[in-house]
Amino acid sequence: MYTTLLSTLISSLSLNHRFYADDTQLLFTFHPPDFDSNITYVQNALQQISSWMTANLLTLNSSKTEFLLIGLSKQLAKIHNSSLSTTHSACNLGFIFDEHLSFSDQISTLSQSCYYHIRQLRCIHFDFKTASTIATSIVHSKLDYCNSRYYNLPKSQITRLQQIQNSLARAVVKAPKFCHITPILHSLRWLKITAHIEYKILSLTTAQPSYLHHLITIQPHHSTRSSSVVTLSCPPSSSSLRITDRSFRYASPRLWNQLPASLR
């Protein structure tokens, strides 16, 4: 596969990267004062990659090449460079990342798609089992996709997601718009959005893929009250920013250690 050789080239340029089929992502961090030098370096690296691809009868699609700068508002305000055209958001494997990681664009796009299917579901009369199956496979699966990214988002954003789930549940059981939602969710055996997000993170904690393995550390047994209880080490917070607490590295041990001892 050409990606093996391309990976070697990118690594030699000291750039982190990810491959997803024919999609290539370059990742790097920098401080705002170093913006110009870092961007120049990346642009030169892209030129080398483009030359390599041309030499190997491949093409770097410039029309689909995007630059997304992610940071706090104060950080991004310090960056002024008219030579680089950046985007405010970019789609990564079907999930939209924006420059502040607020995921507001992702939730807006998700809402449009989900409400469309919910309206269609209301127009067709199915029995409960069929309606539940369709709702779970077509709509609720969209709410579940990459939902660990929604952890610790502002309440207003979580509310938007919960409203989608509420509308979907009412559509399945043909309930009125203002009918109390909790009994309906219980009948469908659906966790509420916040609980489902936490469940996903805990699932990744117990059966984490290899790229998350190094983010989890088990606390030595002599530091715990009981050697039979698995406790995860919470990394020291190097920042008071709330966005740091949203990362898997911090969220996973916090949620795991809150579980009853019988579940750990």
The tens digit of pLDDT for each residue in 226-250 reads 567 888 988 876 665 677 889 999 9
Whether the predicted pLDDT of 68 surpasses 70: yes
Q: How far is CA 9 from CA 25, 46, 102, in A?
A: 14, 11, 33
Annotated domain spans of the chain: 2-87, 104-200, 208-263
Mean pLDDT for the stretch of residues 6-29? 89
* Residue 226, pLDDT score: 58
For the stretch 34-69, what's the b/e string if a residue is b when 16 or more beta carbons lie within 10 angstroms of its beta carbon?
Answer: ebeeebebbeebbeebeebbeeeeeeeeeeeeeeeb
Question: What is the average pLDDT value for the chain, to the nearest integer?
Answer: 89
* Residue 119, pLDDT score: 96
Burial of residue 165 (CB within 10 Å: 0-12, 13-18, 19+) is buried
Distance of alpha carbon 188 from alpha carbon 128, whole angstroms: 10
- The closest of 122, 125, 116 to 164, measured between CA atoms, is 116
What's the pTM? Answer: 0.86
* Residue 194, pLDDT score: 97
Q: Which pairs from 72-80 meet CB under 8 Å and 24+ separation?
A: 72/100, 72/241, 72/243, 73/100, 75/32, 76/32, 78/32, 78/33, 79/32, 79/35
* Residue 207, pLDDT score: 85
Mean pLDDT for the stretch of residues 94-120? 96
Helices 35-55 + 2-12 axis angle, to 10: 150
* Residue 1, pLDDT score: 58
- Token couple for 140: 């609720």
Residue 27: strand pairing partners = 16
Q: Contact, 252 vs 201, CB < 8 A?
A: yes
Distance of alpha carbon 21 from alpha carbon 263, whole angstroms: 38
Whether the predicted pLDDT of 2 surpasses 70: no
Mean pLDDT for the stretch of residues 115-124? 95
| pLDDT > 90 in the chain, percent | 58
* Residue 234, pLDDT score: 87
- Tell me the pLDDT band of 11, cut-offs 50, 70 and 90: very high
* Least-confidence region, from 102-116, 123-137, 230-244: 230-244
Query: From the centroid of its chain, how far is CA 202?
Result: 15
